[in-house]
Amino acid sequence: MIKIIAFFFLIFTYANLNAQTNKEDIIAFVGKKISLKKTKTPKHKPNYVMDTIVLFEKDTLITMVDLNQQPLKFYTEWDAKYEVQELINGKYFKKNIEFKVFDHYGKPEFSKFKNVLLFVQKSNGQFYLSTYQFFDVYKTKDGKWAGPYSSFLYNHPNNKDFTIKPEKINFKKKKIKIKRKNTDKNYPHELYPKPYYSNFKNYVVPIYGNSAKDLFELEFQILKSIDRYK
């Protein structure tokens, strides 16, 4: 499930807001963690750091931030290495992939899951993870990857053009238990609505969801609707 995040309202100076990225430039893959290491903080204070900005909940920009103008308090950098279990979009031919991760909350939440659908893009020869954009996914009985129903996607204000609908998923594991999270005050929708989930006291069990391919397409439709991708 995508992490609940706060908006970052124009608190940074950044460039190329209107630049578009081709769909083929997004490397979307189902991955399994090999390693995730926090980058050591340099002894000297840098003038600039690479940061990520999240707009409209989903739209992520990677940019250089001037620390003299905008001190960054909640900032961690990680080096990730993941096994590519299935390529969902883009062109990538290696078994493993290495990429940079930036997070304002500490250890990235996606690392808690065994298998995740991740989105990376290359800039100056380096892969970067699209911050806070991921889906936990699980094997289905027919050997494919699928994720539980996403309240974030289906309640997004830019979802009016969605043609993909949630469907019942026959997960390989009979009962996938997801620990219940409290609804964020900035997110008014129910995270685990019926009939998409069976609700229990401290956990929920997904009934509906989407294939990994459909999750990517839903994500892309949102990004495309705000003119960041083509």
Distance (Å, rounded) from C-alpha 29 to C-alpha 81? 13
pLDDT at 75: 65
Average pLDDT over residues 181-186: 60
Query: What pLDDT shows up at residue 227?
Result: 55
* Cis status of the peptide bond prior to 193, with omega within 30 of 0: no
Q: Sheet with 178-179: list strands edge to edge.
A: 178-179, 203-206, 197-199
Please give the pLDDT value at position 86.
Answer: 98
Backbone φ, ψ for residue 51 (5° rounding): -135, 165
pLDDT value at residue 18:
37
Quote the CA–CA distance of 80 and 129 in Å, as a whole number: 9
- The model's pLDDT over 23-74, given as tens digits with 9 standing for 90+, comes to 888 899 999 999 999 986 554 444 544 444 443 344 444 455 555 555 555 4
Q: Is the pLDDT of residue 212 over 70?
A: yes
Better-scored residue on pLDDT, 214 or 189: 214
pLDDT of residue 184: 52
Q: What's the start-to-end Cα distance of the chain, in Å?
A: 25
pLDDT tier, 175 (very low <50, low <70, confident <90, very high otherwise):
confident
pLDDT at 188: 53
**For the whole model, what pTM was predicted?**
0.78
The DSSP output letter for 24 is G
Return the closest-CA partner of residue 52 out of 132, 131, 133: 131
Between CA 78 and CA 120 the distance in angstroms is: 14
Q: Which of 210, 1, 215, 221 is nearest to 88 (CA)?
A: 215
Q: Is the dihedral of CA 201, 205, 209, 212 positive or negative?
A: positive
Pairwise CA distance, residues 159 & 150, whole Å? 12
* pLDDT score, position 9: 24
For residue range 102-136, what is the model confidence (pLDDT) as tens digits?
Answer: 887 778 899 999 999 999 988 888 898 887 789 99
Of 135-139, 150-154, 187-191, 203-207, which range is least confident?
187-191
d(CA 148, CA 138): 9
CA contacts within 13 A on the Cβ side of 102: 21
Alpha-carbon distances of 186 from 3, 98, 153, 190, rounded to whole Å: 13, 33, 15, 12
**In the predicted model, is pLDDT for residue 139 greater than 70?**
yes
Model pLDDT for residues 140-173, shown as the tens digit of each residue: 999 999 999 999 889 888 777 788 999 999 999 8
96 token code pair:
């493993």
